[in-house]
Copies of this chain bind each other. A is one copy, B any other.
Amino acid sequence: MTTIDRLVEAVRDMEFDLQETITILERTPAVVRELLHGLPETWTASNEGPETFSPFDVVGHLIDGEETDWIPRIRIILAQGSDRRFVPFDRFRSQGAAETLSQRLEKFASLRKANLKTLQELEVTPAQLKLTGEHPELGTVTLAQLLATWAVHDLTHLAQINRVMAKQYKAAIGPWVRYHPLLTR
């Protein structure tokens, strides 16, 4: 691939695609499980400092999204009622819940599966993707933007889990920390 090809590729904005978005959302539970299942707690319960998420916390946060955020917001937009304001997403809802990591992994997988079934049953049309709701802070957003954000939210939290884990070995890698700026960010 030439430099020009790469530039063209980098500036092209990828269009929202419902089926591809579902394909990404479907795989997240398996990715998280492969990453974390059976790991010692030193790896899954450590975080990046005060008020930051450990991998265990991230899985709880993903569960919160499944239980309170994505599908309810999709329904608000599709209903097109007079009040289309979303309930704010409580990012710390799952904190302090008495669950094991293994329970969280299982719960997330089953909620995600059920929610994607619901989404498929809604049979969203291209026209409906342009319908809007009101985000409490961001203002008017479309259904397509909400669905794209669901996938991006998965991907950035997966990146976070990997980063948080990598940071636990910041001292252990010695001089190699120079090649891993992610660990000191």
A residues near B (Cβ < 8 Å) are 3, 6-7, 9-10, 13-16, 20, 23-24, 27, 30-31, 34-35, 38-40, 42-43, 46-52, 135, 138-139, 141-142, 144-145, 148-149, 151-153, 155-156, 158-160, 162-163, 165-166, 168-176, 178-180, 182-183
The 29 sampled A-B contact pairs (Cβ below 8 Å) are A6-B49, A7-B49, A10-B48, A14-B42, A14-B171, A16-B169, A20-B39, A20-B43, A23-B39, A31-B34, A34-B34, A35-B158, A138-B178, A138-B179, A144-B172, A145-B172, A145-B173, A145-B175, A152-B169, A152-B173, A152-B180, A155-B162, A155-B165, A155-B166, A156-B163, A156-B166, A158-B159, A159-B159, A159-B162
**In the assembled complex, how far is the CB of residue A116 from the closest CB belonging to chain B, in whole angstroms?**
16
Interface SS of A by simple majority: helix
**Is B141 a contact of A175 with CB atoms below 8 Å?**
yes
Q: What's the Cα separation between A20 and B6 when bound, in Å?
A: 39
**In the assembled complex, how far is the CB of residue A48 from the closest CB belonging to chain B, in whole angstroms?**
7
Instruction: Tell me which residues across on chain B come within 8 A of A31, comparing CB atoms.
Output: 31, 34-35
Instruction: Tell me which residues across on chain B come within 8 A of A165, comparing CB atoms.
Output: 24, 155
The 10 A-B residue pairs with the shortest CB-CB distance, nearest first, are A13-B171, A148-B172, A159-B162, A155-B166, A145-B174, A10-B49, A138-B175, A159-B159, A149-B176, A16-B172
Q: What's the Cα separation between A40 and B46 when bound, in Å?
A: 34
